[in-house]
């Protein structure tokens, strides 16, 4: 009996985590949702959201994040959830598809900062010129 109860508890906990993830994905879609990390601590549950634009998750004076935390506390069975937000930077390789003239200068830095490899030999004409 206790084995079935522990399995049921684990399944219910994972279902709750999935529901929380879907809820936060839907509410932070415009901020570039990058992932979710849920850690149980003795004081409660720490929920860490990773997003590209942290300011859109937090809101002015913390209005949006406080509302999300209140709704997590009311609607889900997480014991005293605490929200935390981390920033994720997008890859620069996704921005390389811009036209050459409108490309920002920081995208060229990676190319120009690469070390120059000297050629193995000079042209054939210069070596064999008479």
Query: How many domains would you assign to the chain?
Result: 2
Residue 34 burial (CB < 10 Å; 0-12/13-18/19+)? middle
Per-position pLDDT tens, the chain of length 130 = 577 788 898 898 889 999 999 999 999 888 888 889 999 999 989 999 988 888 888 989 989 999 999 999 999 888 888 999 988 876 554 555 555 555 555 555 554 444 555 554 544 555 555 5
Residues 83, 106 share a domain: no
Residues 83, 22 share a domain: yes
Predicted model pTM:
0.62
Q: Quote the tokens at residue 11.
A: 């399944």
Residues 62, 21 share a domain: yes
Host domain of residue 121: 93-127
Residues 107, 81 share a domain: no
């Amino acid at each position: 009996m206790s084995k079935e109860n522990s399995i049921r508890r684990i399944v219910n906990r994972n279902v709750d985590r999935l529901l929380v993830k879907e809820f936060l994905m839907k509410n932070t879609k415009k901020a570039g949702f990058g992932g979710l990390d849920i850690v149980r601590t003795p004081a409660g549950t720490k929920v860490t959201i990773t997003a590209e634009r942290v300011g859109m998750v937090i809101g002015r004076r913390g209005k949006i994040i406080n509302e999300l935390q209140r709704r997590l506390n009311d609607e889900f069975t997480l014991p005293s959830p605490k929200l935390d937000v981390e920033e994720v930077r997008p890859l620069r390789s996704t921005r390389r598809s811009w036209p050459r003239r409108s490309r920002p200068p920081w995208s060229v830095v990676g190319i120009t900062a690469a070390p120059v490899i000297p050629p193995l030999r000079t042209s054939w004409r210069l070596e064999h010129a008479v």
